[in-house]
Structure 1
Amino acid sequence: MPTSNSSEAFGLHILSSQHKDIRRLRKAQGVAELHGNKLWKSSYVMMDYLLEFPLEKHSRVLELGCGWGLGSIFCTKHFGADAVALDADESVFPFLELHADINKVSVNTYCGRFEDISEEDLSGFDAVIGADICFWDELQQPLTQLMERALAADVGRIILADPGRPPFRAMAEQLNERVPDSTYTDWDVPEPHNAWGLILDL
């Protein structure tokens, strides 16, 4: 049930930054180092896109730069996915675990950077997802290289969402040109979420 400090979106119960449990965790964990401190609206863009172009049921999913892990939770709840949520900042995982618990799903977590994920690691997944994870110029190259390893590992789907930052645009345009049958498009999410972003679907 939505309250002043929580909301319902895409079948998920999501706590706001002012919810007492989020505030309690922030007091205990401190401020996330890599912007995993709240829900970013690109998550809505990705979830809305996946409702229109869903994953295969029971896919093995890796979420990159997971933050609060709503992408993993969404895929687990809607598609019965077996999800692993990766982030370089382990302080985000208690927020993920709180949201997984209130949405009655289980998500595995892994602390690591894009550079840590090998082609062999990626071969164990059917899909790779990520929302708002290319926000610095210095992230463009390691993320592009990670996408290339995922393609070499024959990952079936790679879906990334972004609000349109220049590093993401540069990466997405490069990969879209290189990968046949890929999709690179803008995506509007209507009321009540009022989100807009870019989608790269490889």
Structure 2
Amino acid sequence: MRLFFVYLIAVPALVSAYTLFMFKPSFDSMLINGEPIDADGKVVVKKSNLCTEAAGSALGLVEREIEIAEGFSVIISEQQPEIDEYLERKTIVDPFGTILWPGAIAGCRVLRKMHLEKGTRVMVLGCGVGLEVKAVSQLGLIPIAVDYNKELFELLVYDGVETVRLDLTSDDELPMSDVVMACDCLYSEATASALAVRLGRMIEEGRKVLVTDSQRFHSKLFLKLLNDELDRLGKGGVLRWRKIDLKGVRVRGVTDSGVRDSDITVNLLTA
């Protein structure tokens, strides 16, 4: 009898987990410059879903549709239990992996305008709730998701997407890619310092780099160390932050529990 009850509990749970973690993007349309189009030549970006409402509700996930640009949106899921825990006790070391940050939206908008060729490999450092990874996929590019938090990968399981668990402050090698995205990853001095050195080497290797920062905790430190690294490697020129304005963006902050519309200015660096 006990085994029977275990079966009744375990099977539905497994089904819900399977439903949650299945990610099936559709790319049955043609592509031009990495963007799916329909037969009439109008840009059509296929939407993809990370979880069903039932499965997401069971794990406390909050599903949100994020508009990157007109006709281009991505559905992401934030982890409500972790958000609540941070708001109540601030016990989470890194709340940035549990909610969407404005820099991710800015990065996706810039990436879309780069008109990269289909098959371009784009590495996302600090993949968080997965907005950048899913946007990369929906643009017909090849995403590589990199993060140190294994729990995030349990939430962000993608069909056919390479995932790498790695601490950016370590000496571990990163996979090869054509483009590197790092959106709102400068929240600690250690990470900002390590990222500056890594990205400097990648620029020297000829990779395209896209960095955004909406929080500005360590923007100045990162920029100084990045330019120092490029100077050490013999790369001329000085990189500077540019500004990108996001109007009416729906964001959720770690200082309050609500989702609100905000106008936000994000630091942007491309090389």
Match of 1:137 in 2: 189
Matched, 1:45 2:106: yes
Q: Give RMSD over aligned pairs.
A: 3.1
How much has 1:45 moved relative to structure 2?
1.3
The number of equivalent residue pairs is 182
Larger Rg: 2
Which residues of structure 2 form unaligned runs of 5+?
1-46, 48-52, 54-61, 85-90, 231-235, 251-262
How far, CA to CA, are the matches of 1:55 and 1:176 in structure 2? 26
SS in 2 for 1:83: strand
SS in 2 for 1:67: coil
Cα 1:175/1:63, change in 2 over 3 Å = same
Structure 2 matches for 1:77-88, cutoff 5 A? 77-78=138-139, 80-88=140-148
Q: Residue type of the partner of 2:177?
A: F
Match of 1:187 in 2: 244
How much has 1:111 moved relative to structure 2?
0.5
Matched, 1:167 2:221: no
Higher relative contact order (CA 8 A, sep 6+): 1
User: Scaled by the length of structure 1, what TM-score is found?
Assistant: 0.75
How far, CA to CA, are the matches of 2:116 and 2:223 in structure 1? 20
Match of 2:76 in 1: 14
Q: Is contact 1:73–1:107 with CA below 8 Å preserved after alignment?
A: no
SS in 1 for 2:124: strand
Q: Residue type of the partner of 1:84?
A: I
SS in 2 for 1:169: helix
Matched, 1:69 2:130: yes
Q: Specify which of 160, 173, 178 is matched with residue 126 of structure 1.
A: 178
How much has 1:57 moved relative to structure 2?
2.9
Match of 2:255 in 1: none
Q: Residue type of the partner of 1:191?
A: G
SS in 2 for 1:191: strand
User: Where is the helix percentage greater, Structure 1 or Structure 2?
Assistant: 1
Q: Is contact 2:63–2:75 with CA below 8 Å preserved after alignment?
A: no
How much has 1:183 moved relative to structure 2?
5.9
Q: Is contact 1:130–1:160 with CA below 8 Å preserved after alignment?
A: yes
Q: Is contact 2:124–2:181 with CA below 8 Å preserved after alignment?
A: yes
Q: Residue type of the partner of 2:64?
A: S
SS in 1 for 2:241: strand
